[in-house]
Amino acid sequence: TNYEKGKFREYLVRERLKKPFNLKEIAENGIDLVIKPKSIVEREKVKVGLQDREIDLIVKGNVELWIDVKDTRGKYGKREAERWVEIKQTISEEKPKILFAVYSQNGYTAPALEQLKANGVYVFITE
């Protein structure tokens, strides 16, 4: 059921991002940047260093935005934040224009939130 729950949450986030949106309106630490999606790819496998990683959502448009989506019982924690920041840093060396964001239905732990923001990851506001 976790797989289905995750897929459904990704679907809801994807639906919300289908039309042009401003990062400052959907992320706690968003900048004034309008993103105009042309396509949204789900669960894309990408090479990150020596490993293949699955990216939950990739919004492709005037910019590319990679999003980690979580719908778990607990909050988005330090381990998840470290993994996402590591992916961001590795990819940013090759493709510096890609933006990174996180959506967690149940919020974030304080250390995770601090780490994400400190590393330039946009933190989506949960409804």
Q: Which of 74, 53, 65 is nearest to 2 (CA)?
A: 74
- pLDDT reported for residue 127: 63
CA distance 23 to 59: 12
Cα–Cα distance, 97 to 99 (Å, whole number): 6
Contact 27, 46 (CB under 8 A): no
* pTM of the full structure: 0.92
Q: Give the tokens for residue 71.
A: 């719908």
Q: What is the pLDDT of residues 60-104, one digit of tens each?
A: 999 999 999 998 888 999 999 999 999 999 999 989 899 999 999
